[in-house]
Structure 1
Amino acid sequence: MVACAKNMGVPCGSGMFGHALHAVACFSKEEIAARVDCLKNTFMWTDAEVAIAVSKAPLMLTRSKESMQRSSEFLISEVGLEPAYIARRPAVLTYSLKGRLRPRYYAVKFLKENGLLNHDRDYYSPVLVSNNDFMKKYICPHKEAAPHLAEDYAAACRGEVPARFIFA
């Protein structure tokens, strides 16, 4: 297992090594190879991009093919991220699409569309912060200008898409 984790490009001393061991313990070599191929096909990644992504977030190998497909469709088609961008920031694939990625995307897009946030703001930064920090940085400062934002964000986290989060 240690050799297999090392072959994934995760150094023994790194903080990700334990995660790599967990990922390889769950699957045979053949299953891991199939999951790597799935990542290449789903995200249109090169071998080098897969290696970068897996070395940074080895637990993504434990996600289902369907989950990866839904994440790919959302991140590439709806958010507009380039596959190489995702490969360099694979932690985004470890978060819940329904509970984190979509709601935060909708909230930040709402803020941008209404001139409350700079349009050059990166998608990755709002995704990474804790929910408390997201609320402090992106929701609470706009209570007066967007009084329903907290309520709409909470609804989005429950899987609903509030009307104010629908953009033409």
Structure 2
Amino acid sequence: MFRLALQAVAFLNEEKIAGKVDYLKNTFRWSDAQVRIAVCGAPFVLRKSKESLKRRSEFLFSEVGLEPVYVAHRPIILCLSLDGRVRPRYYVLKFLKENGLVDRKLSFHTAVMMTEKVFVEKLICPHKEAAPHLAEDYAAACKGEVPTNFRFT
């Protein structure tokens, strides 16, 4: 982790780091302690562009409905591809929960942290009969095509 932290700040001066920390506090509504937790957990969050962080905060808070403290304690979510992984998996998880096809206790973090193979095996394949287009809709979402609704038929 120390090596990752060094890589994250290697080309940032103190002023840029302070500016990024302030941006994180404002964008994610984090306290100093929460910024510390997030940066210690995922130092590369300091290398993300302001636009990228803004898009992630808007999606995670407005669409997913996560709390700032949840994200601070799981900052790796901010380092994953928003359009290629986080958003498509959110759509699948939301679809499955709304249709009673998966345990409501399955967390968003758990779903986005699964490997692609495990995600498909555990959350998509078991529902081939109930939701035959789920794999197709998920693949489309991973390509950036945002389906308005995942389909049953």
Pairwise same-fold verdict (TM > 0.5): yes
Is 1:77 matched up with 2:62? yes
* Residue segments in structure 1 that go unaligned for 5+ positions in a row: 1-15
Question: Under a length normalisation based on structure 2, what TM-score does the superposition of the two structures give?
Answer: 0.95
- Identical positions, percent: 61
Question: Under a length normalisation based on structure 1, what TM-score does the superposition of the two structures give?
Answer: 0.87
The whole-number CA distance in structure 2 between the counterparts of 1:164 and 1:78 is: 14
Match of 2:43 in 1: 58
Match of 1:67 in 2: 52
2:131 corresponds to which of 119, 138, 146: 146
SS across alignment from 1:162: coil
Is 1:34 matched up with 2:26? no
Is 1:108 matched up with 2:105? no
CA 1:98–1:112: 2 relative to 1, 3 Å = same
* Residue segments in structure 2 that go unaligned for 5+ positions in a row: none
Is 1:88 matched up with 2:76? no
The whole-number CA distance in structure 1 between the counterparts of 2:146 and 2:9 is: 37
Is 1:135 matched up with 2:92? no
SS across alignment from 2:149: helix
The whole-number CA distance in structure 1 between the counterparts of 2:148 and 2:113 is: 25
The whole-number CA distance in structure 1 between the counterparts of 2:82 and 2:150 is: 16
The whole-number CA distance in structure 1 between the counterparts of 2:99 and 2:27 is: 33
Q: Which amino acid aligns with 2:109?
A: Y
SS across alignment from 2:30: coil
Size of the alignment, in residue pairs? 151
List, as ranges, runs of 4+ consecutive aligned residues in structure 1 with deviation greater than 3 Å: none
Kept after mapping to 1: 8 A contact 2:84/2:142:
yes
The whole-number CA distance in structure 1 between the counterparts of 2:10 and 2:101 is: 46
Q: 1:48-69: CA deviations, max 9, x gaps?
A: 0000000010011000000000
